[in-house]
């Protein structure tokens, strides 16, 4: 795990920038991206939660800023973990594996950073 600790600042900044750019793209659409044809249950889910998505994107921007400025990182990583898992599950349910790379990047970076900060989490499991 020495390698993870060595690259932790770089991974943290990459994850923070990735979250900020992804969330800002949802508002300003500067990177063309489409989910394409979705299964009916996925489309129904998006329609049901569409009103909350702007709040989620604002939350992602805040999380990204905390990661970039190195504030409360162990806590932020725990908060981000359920979001990255749900992002991964959503992209898996879309049945288009060519567009899952964003979710895989977020999940991979989050897990690597969680492992890098594992010493901070030991008091939680005593």
pLDDT(96) > 80: no
The pTM of the full predicted model, rounded to 2 decimals, is 0.89
Mean of all residue pLDDT scores within the chain = 89
CA angle 93, 98, 103 (to 5 degrees): 60
What gap in Å lies between CA 12 and CA 72, rounded to an integer? 12
Span 40-89, pLDDT tens digits: 887 888 889 999 999 999 999 999 999 999 999 999 999 999 999 999 98
Q: Can you say whether residue 94 is alpha, beta or left, with left for phi > 0 and alpha for psi between -120 and 50 degrees?
A: alpha
């Amino acid at each position: 795990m020495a390698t993870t600790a060595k690259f932790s600042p770089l991974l943290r900044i990459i994850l923070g920038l990735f979250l900020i750019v992804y969330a800002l793209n949802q508002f300003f659409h500067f990177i063309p991206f489409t989910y394409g044809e979705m299964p009916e249950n996925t489309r129904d889910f998006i329609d049901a939660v569409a009103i909350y998505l702007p709040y989620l994107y604002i939350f992602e921007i805040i999380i990204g800023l905390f990661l970039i400025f190195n504030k409360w990182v162990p806590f932020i990583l725990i908060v981000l973990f359920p979001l990255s898992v749900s992002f991964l599950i959503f992209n898996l349910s879309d049945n288009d594996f060519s567009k899952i790379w964003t979710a895989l990047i977020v999940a991979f970076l989050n897990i690597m950073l969680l492992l890098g900060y594992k010493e901070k989490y030991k008091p939680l499991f005593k």
